[in-house]
Amino acid sequence: MALLELENICKSFKTGDTTTIVHNNLSFTVDKGELVAIMGKSGSGKTTLLNILAGIDYPDSGKYVFDGSEVVIKKTNDGIKFRRNQIGVILQHFALINDYTVYENIELGLWEADLSKHERRKKVDEVLERLGISDLRNQYPDKLSGGEKQRVAIGRAIVCEPKLVLADEPTGSLDNETEKEVIEIIKELNKSLEMTFIIVTHDEEVASCCNRTITLQKL
């Protein structure tokens, strides 16, 4: 069953008199529970596609259907509402708040969920346990290794149990060993929680761990 469908998506950027076409009639479908890699050279529109999928940006034309409903983004807040509890985002540079503990960083993903403090605590504890970082709950991110930071970032992305997790180069800042660990975590989450993952990557090894790879060409 399809979680998202992109149909004839066109996207271009105008810089002065020059128009750069990034996507031209891009179409693909991602099913629920899939683990998909998106690859492509620099400038092929990977991040733009990620932005469209996350509701940060909107296509010039074409149709984006998520979980059966068409996604229409007109304002920043529309994107935030669309993402809330539906999409988790993992970034290459972890995007953790250094003033917040590991626990608080993960809890951030639940602030907008209608949950009591007790329920939030329970969910965060579950995620900490699942990712094997319970002992780091009171640590601050600047004291963590790259792999630990990415686990925290994954924790924040999945704590609200989103339907889709978008990961932008999740292993880009990690060494080989840690990269494998993170990929294993993603695979495990994909399998056990049946969570859909779309990973933007340059790394063939990461792509090979996914069910499917979509390769974008530079236009």
Verify binding: residue 65, other proteins, rule CB under 8 A. Answer: no
Cβ-contact 171, 140 below 8 angstroms: no
The nearer residue to other proteins, 54 or 136, going by C-beta atoms, is: 54
Residues 178-217, one symbol each (x = binds other proteins by CB under 8 A, - = not), give ----------------------------------------
Exposure on the CB side of residue 100, measured as CA atoms within 13 A:
15
The nearer residue to other proteins, 110 or 189, going by C-beta atoms, is: 110
- The CA distance from 72 to 64, in Å, is 8
Cβ-contact 22, 15 below 8 angstroms: no
Contact region with other proteins (CB under 8 A), list: 25-33, 43-51, 185-193, 208-216: 43-51
The neighbour count for residue 120, using CB atoms within 10 Å, is: 18
* DSSP H or E run through 213: strand 212-216
Instruction: Collect all residues with Cβ–Cβ distance below 8 Å to 214 and sequence separation of at least 6.
Output: 28, 36, 37, 38, 39
The nearer residue to other proteins, 61 or 76, going by C-beta atoms, is: 76
The nearer residue to other proteins, 69 or 135, going by C-beta atoms, is: 69
The nearer residue to other proteins, 116 or 217, going by C-beta atoms, is: 116
Residue labelled with tokens 């346990």:
129
Q: How far is the CB of 105 from other proteins (least distance, A)?
A: 8
Q: Could you list the residues that contact other proteins (CB under 8 A)?
A: 47, 50-51, 54, 56-57, 76-77, 79-81, 83-85, 89, 91-93, 95-97, 99, 108-109, 111-112, 156, 160, 168
